[in-house]
Structure 1
Amino acid sequence: MTSAQEAVATCYERVRAVARPEIWITLRDRDDALAAAHAVDAKARAGAVLPLAGTTVAVKDNIDVAGLPTTAGAPGVRHTPATSAETVRLLEEAGAVVVGKTNLDQFATGLVGTRTPYGTPASASDPTLVAGGSSSGSALAVALGLVDLALGTDTAGSGRVPAAFNHIVGVKPTLGMLPSTGVYPASPSYDTVSVFARTLTTAGRAMEVMASGPASRPWQRHARLSATRGRVGVVDGEVLALVDEDWAAAYLASVEAVAAAGFEPVEVGMAPLLDAAKLLYEGALLAERAYAFGDVLAELGPAADPTVAGIVLPARDFAAVDLVRDQQKLLSARSSAARTLAPLDALLLPTAPGHPSLADVGADPVGVNSRIGTFTNFVNLLDLSALAVPAAGSTSRSPAGVILVGRAHDDLVLADVAARAGLTDALPPDQFWGAPCRELVVLGAHRTGQPLNHQLTDAGARFLGTVRTAPAYRMARLDTTPPKPAIWKAATGGASITGELWALTPDGLLDFLGQLAAPMAITPVTLSDGREVLGFTCEPGALETAEDITAHGDWIAYLTSTT
């Protein structure tokens, strides 16, 4: 395992070699970062549990880091906080070392990455193309291998578009999943911290740590840990005609990958969602941005980015009735989105219609930015989760991206779909991103490939691995339909029985238990490592005529022996 000091030293060597100063607004002093890393290594040697030890992090400069200035991309906003944002504090407590604050579209208003006085970031693959915004610096720091992961924010797509333009993963979590304390607001009702990494596993490690903090919104009880419906929504030809040829081809290849993974592609009507996207910048919801930073923007005068000022300052003149009208439109759009997503595991979309050049943005800064947000602007407005991953066939030299969109708290479902389609790596079994869950050991007909396994997968359960019970159980074959084993704890003659460990959310477990048939019962079962988890046992009376098959030690092995 790389020590924190080695990781930090490598990071600064890479920063010097790459020589992209426009990525950073403030790069932490190297000696300060090494001192922080030394403290992490000392804690690790003392036995502290530090899941992010050896991890380097870049932080978008609208998120506070204690001792480093926060600018929100505007020099006049500069202040140096004494405490870090809650998300940063949690990462640091887990052993991560922050190395600097990254460039962004001013006040996190933009998807291009060019609305900044701190230098214009270009794509990691092509200096003529935009890096994407507003979290441009954070995405580039990851894509160029400077840091392991980076924090961005996402209101209109800022945690997804830069991921697509730079061939990395962008997690846009459900609103409220991560704490917002210490984050300079853009549109407070629709902002969230986001995560960039080169793999989903790395991004997930950060999500696992940050989601353990005090979120403003608990997980919904109906949340699932994996895909259950077997269908993924896709756009029709009319919508795909809005997309540049190379990005459309990458999207269609991604649809094929999803279908090859066993999901049925289902064309969905996108008009209500695309109409809702326009509300973010073309209606009274812009008053959120005017409320958040309009006065500061006005005080900056010529120091403000002219495009940002031109978008936000007029929003101070909206009347209350304008805002209520657009909020009612939004409620209707949310109902439409709920109906669209109800039968689906996810909605698969191009992240953007294409990858514009710096020249394109210079010629039409508002129009190009608006086009980029075609498939991203509606997501937070409609309270949806999203995951940005490289499209099938995307490379670091020629990037293209897709996003998977789901209901609130379908974050882990999206990760499951992406992994099964081969668009990203799979999350390890121990990552739940704060989702409440219970473990259940199954030993017979509910195991993978067995006739009742669908009861687990239908409940959104996640397979955690093969396990064995403590050597204190006996097993018998019940004469049921389908046949299943009965397991019971024995005073003598017990053995270790092979089974599978699954995780379910509380509601998923209730759904599963609702299908439990006599003579089966659920009680604590002791595993070989001493843990007690819920598992199947049996009513004693059913054992009187059952065949004892303990010697096999495994229901699957028993079935194999009988055939």
Structure 2
Amino acid sequence: MLPEILDFSSIRDAYSKGFTPLDLVEEVIARCNASADPAIFITRTPEDQLRAAAQELMARAPEANSLPLWGIPFAVKDNIDVAGLPVTAACPAFKYHPDKDATLIARLKAAGALVIGKTNLDQFATGLNGTRSPYGAPRSVFDSAYVSGGSSSGSAIAVASGLAAFSLGTDTAGSGRVPAAFNNLVGIKPTPGLVPNVGVVPACRSVDVVTVFAATVGDGIAARKVMEGYDAADPFSCVAVPVKLPSSGLRIGVLEGAEREFYGNAAYEALYDAAIERAKSLGATIVPFDYAPFRQAAELLYNGPWVAERLAAVKDFIATNADDFDPAVRTIIEGAKAYDAVGAFEGKYKLEALRQLTKAEWEKVDMLMLPTSPTTYTVEAMMADPIVKNGHFGRYTNFANLFGYAAIAIPAGFDTEGHLPAGVTLIGPGFSDEALAPFADAMHRSLGAGMGKAKEAAIPEASRVADGDDGMISIMVVGAHLTGMPLNHELTGPGGRLVKTCRTAGDYRLFVLPNTTPPKPGLIREPGLAGKGLEVEVWKLPPSAFGNFVNNIPAPLGIGKVTLDDGSQVSGFLCEPYAVEGALEVTALGGWRAYIASRQ
């Protein structure tokens, strides 16, 4: 009854048809027991305890889907407190038993979510690769020879393999984004301070962020909204003042020249270029920017005094238990001894100087789009060179929390063999979390990479991130204005944005209009026709552009209400019936794109 990859809308649909949280728990238990990767979890929620949580939820809120996350199963990185389950931070000697939930866990449980277990991680959340744990190294869901990404390794694998509908990671240097890229997931990295860290084992307390892995942007945002909110017990918690981004004509900063570094991975570079082209097709303006000050800030996280924060988090424990640390983790943390208070202030001064330099770049753009990771490696290669190769993963992630930015990582497709996935990350100013989501969702859908290990899966329409009242006007196009077609520039030029690709209701017919340049179709409706519908696109245009666009439409075409296959109606291209008399009908091909392809 449930799909291979668990997403919110599929679970809610099952609940609306009589499936229960107890039924879901049995399914999750069966999937976990059958999992091929034994390193995903450090501690699973005991089966009877999980069943009891489902029963308690049904007693507390008996109506299906009556809470924001009613019966949604999630996994928790094992550096976050969950009452009744131990915390290890991937160090057995560090284990403790919290008597209450972290603030964000309490909020998720109150919203109806069910904890299925505590997941593996790079020890003390120090690493981006997923191999630094005595509990084993989780592997990529696409090839077990490759790393899962870290430090939130088990959390990403739990979602990508269909065990949980979302999971929690933590992100200091990129740990909520890199594992998303390596496992074809969405990674939601909130602005630092948006989600409270009370009950979270710190890595670098001043820049740590709790993150969400999910199958879709909409699911991840829904979980983040439940977790966020001020908590006075967290000294870095803050009240969000949302930052808006333009509703059209987004300017997106991309890499060029010497700042492009993929460490020889041509396939990942090609996927980044393809994502840039896709952003263009969605109406964005692409702007090369100078990444140098961002890169220099990124280098401070591990080659500057911020590494001393990692020592501050565990200084008492490492003083007595140094031999219990993973060797690479110990090397990094003990590197803090090279810094003193003077070095800390000097590092702060350098960061603020770099922040000033980045302001000139932000004047050019509204958001950045960077490779989530420039490359990936096998577990064997990573273990042979753990510090340097781990550093490669953080080239385009390490700066984000130091500067207080929001970010959403999305799948960008697979390499030339269709083997390993890559990702891109959209990065915006602090508290642009909500504003980033619609474009991130549109990008995820348009790139067609699926969800987790289900590479071919369609992203559920119910999870689409709404733009809100952005003042733009929707229009459906069926022919020469489709993405990649000769007149598409009439939409992208004035700031139009692709909303979705879909189909009309089944009672529409499509004809080739004679003597048109470029070739154009005529769409007419024939009530009672039982067809399969025709492929179309829905775009949004600024009001002024919409008026100009409609004014320039030549007869016999015009704009009218078109019914889509989901029953909704949208303004779109229609043709006067007289114009198709004797014209070639191409309805059976399913759409204009298919007709153009047939001519070639």
Residues 266/225 of structure 1: CA separation in 2 closer, same or farther (3 Å cut): closer
Q: Which runs of 5+ in 2 are unaligned?
A: 1-14, 449-458, 476-493, 500-570, 573-600
**Contact 1:169-1:198 within 8 A present in 2 as well:** yes
The alignment partner of 1:66 has SS state of coil
Aligned mates of 1:388, 1:212 — CA distance in 2: 22
Give the corresponding residue for 1:66: 83
Deviation at 1:430, TM superposition (A): 10
Deviation at 1:40, TM superposition (A): 1.0
Match of 1:248 among 260, 264, 269: 269
Which residue type is aligned with residue 6 of structure 1?
A: D
Give the corresponding residue for 1:113: 130
Give the corresponding residue for 1:232: 252
Which residue type is aligned with residue 391 of structure 1?
A: A
**Contact 2:230-2:238 within 8 A present in 1 as well:** no
**Contact 1:257-1:392 within 8 A present in 2 as well:** no
Deviation at 1:323, TM superposition (A): 0.7
391-400 or 49-58, which deviates more? 391-400
Report whether the alignment pairs 1:416 with 2:438: yes
89-98 or 412-421, which deviates more? 412-421
Match of 2:389 among 368, 373, 383: 368
Give the corresponding residue for 1:132: 149
Percent of counterpart pairs with the same letter?
A: 40
**Contact 1:253-1:393 within 8 A present in 2 as well:** no
The alignment partner of 2:212 has SS state of strand
Which residue type is aligned with residue 280 of structure 2?
A: A
Aligned mates of 1:411, 1:20 — CA distance in 2: 33
Residues 402/426 of structure 1: CA separation in 2 closer, same or farther (3 Å cut): farther
Aligned mates of 2:145, 2:64 — CA distance in 1: 48
Residues 515-549 of structure 1: CA deviation (Å, up to 9, x unaligned): xxxxxxxxxxxxxxxxxxxxxxxxxxxxxxxxxxx
Give the corresponding residue for 1:473: none
Which residue type is aligned with residue 368 of structure 1?
A: K
Report whether the alignment pairs 1:322 with 2:343: yes
Report whether the alignment pairs 1:335 with 2:356: yes
Residues 445-465 of structure 1: CA deviation (Å, up to 9, x unaligned): x8668xxxxxxx99xxx9xxx
Report whether the alignment pairs 1:269 with 2:269: no
Residues 117/158 of structure 1: CA separation in 2 closer, same or farther (3 Å cut): same
Aligned mates of 1:132, 1:317 — CA distance in 2: 28
Deviation at 1:124, TM superposition (A): 1.1
Give the corresponding residue for 1:183: 200
Deviation at 1:240, TM superposition (A): 2.6
Aligned mates of 2:102, 2:336 — CA distance in 1: 28
Deviation at 1:204, TM superposition (A): 1.6
Give the corresponding residue for 1:479: none
The alignment partner of 2:26 has SS state of helix
Which residue type is aligned with residue 57 of structure 1?
A: F
Give the corresponding residue for 1:12: 29
- 1:300-319 matches, cutoff 5 A: 300-319=321-340
Deviation at 1:352, TM superposition (A): 0.9
The alignment partner of 2:58 has SS state of helix
Residues 248/429 of structure 1: CA separation in 2 closer, same or farther (3 Å cut): closer
Residues 48/183 of structure 1: CA separation in 2 closer, same or farther (3 Å cut): same
Aligned mates of 2:356, 2:463 — CA distance in 1: 33
Deviation at 1:149, TM superposition (A): 0.5
Number of residue pairs aligned between Structure 1 and Structure 2: 455
Aligned mates of 2:404, 2:358 — CA distance in 1: 10
Give the corresponding residue for 2:531: none
The alignment partner of 1:334 has SS state of helix
Aligned mates of 1:327, 1:163 — CA distance in 2: 30
**Contact 2:370-2:425 within 8 A present in 1 as well:** yes
Give the corresponding residue for 2:280: 259
- 1:429-444 matches, cutoff 5 A: none
Deviation at 1:158, TM superposition (A): 0.2
The alignment partner of 1:162 has SS state of helix
Residues 40/122 of structure 1: CA separation in 2 closer, same or farther (3 Å cut): same
The alignment partner of 1:374 has SS state of coil
Which residue type is aligned with residue 253 of structure 2?
A: G
**Contact 1:341-1:406 within 8 A present in 2 as well:** no
- 1:93-108 matches, cutoff 5 A: 93-108=110-125
Report whether the alignment pairs 1:122 with 2:142: no
Deviation at 1:293, TM superposition (A): 1.4
Residues 423-456 of structure 1: CA deviation (Å, up to 9, x unaligned): 4869979979xxxx9x9798xxx8668xxxxxxx
Residues 373-431 of structure 1: CA deviation (Å, up to 9, x unaligned): 10011111111111111014579842111111111011223222223332486997997
**Contact 1:200-1:427 within 8 A present in 2 as well:** no
Which residue type is aligned with residue 411 of structure 1?
A: D
The alignment partner of 1:151 has SS state of strand
Give the corresponding residue for 1:514: none
Give the corresponding residue for 1:405: 427
Residues 301/441 of structure 1: CA separation in 2 closer, same or farther (3 Å cut): closer
The alignment partner of 1:316 has SS state of helix
Aligned mates of 1:125, 1:429 — CA distance in 2: 25
Residues 203-228 of structure 1: CA deviation (Å, up to 9, x unaligned): 1221121125648212225x116645
- 1:152-301 matches, cutoff 5 A: 152-212=169-229, 214=231, 216-220=237-241, 223-224=243-244, 227-243=247-263, 244-301=265-322
Aligned mates of 1:272, 1:48 — CA distance in 2: 47
405-414 or 375-384, which deviates more? 405-414
**Contact 1:174-1:383 within 8 A present in 2 as well:** yes
Give the corresponding residue for 2:588: none
- 1:378-393 matches, cutoff 5 A: 378-393=399-414
Aligned mates of 1:323, 1:361 — CA distance in 2: 30
Residues 298/9 of structure 1: CA separation in 2 closer, same or farther (3 Å cut): same
The alignment partner of 1:195 has SS state of strand
Aligned mates of 1:330, 1:46 — CA distance in 2: 51
Residues 99/200 of structure 1: CA separation in 2 closer, same or farther (3 Å cut): same
Deviation at 1:5, TM superposition (A): 1.1
Which residue type is aligned with residue 366 of structure 1?
A: I
Which residue type is aligned with residue 185 of structure 1?
A: P
86-95 or 308-317, which deviates more? 308-317
Deviation at 1:300, TM superposition (A): 1.6
Aligned mates of 2:365, 2:461 — CA distance in 1: 21
Residues 448/18 of structure 1: CA separation in 2 closer, same or farther (3 Å cut): closer
Aligned mates of 1:47, 1:148 — CA distance in 2: 17
Report whether the alignment pairs 1:35 with 2:52: yes
Q: Which runs of 5+ in 1 are unaligned?
A: 450-456, 463-555, 558-563
Which residue type is aligned with residue 315 of structure 2?
A: G
Residues 383/213 of structure 1: CA separation in 2 closer, same or farther (3 Å cut): closer
Deviation at 1:159, TM superposition (A): 0.1
Aligned mates of 1:131, 1:400 — CA distance in 2: 12
Deviation at 1:54, TM superposition (A): 2.1
Give the corresponding residue for 1:545: none
Aligned mates of 1:386, 1:130 — CA distance in 2: 22
**Contact 2:64-2:70 within 8 A present in 1 as well:** no
Aligned mates of 2:470, 2:413 — CA distance in 1: 36
Aligned mates of 1:338, 1:282 — CA distance in 2: 23
User: TM-score, normalization: structure 1?
Assistant: 0.75
Residues 239-259 of structure 1: CA deviation (Å, up to 9, x unaligned): 334341111011111011001
Aligned mates of 1:145, 1:441 — CA distance in 2: 35
Aligned mates of 1:299, 1:57 — CA distance in 2: 34
**Contact 1:41-1:53 within 8 A present in 2 as well:** no
Residues 154/4 of structure 1: CA separation in 2 closer, same or farther (3 Å cut): same
RMSD over aligned Cα atoms = 3.3
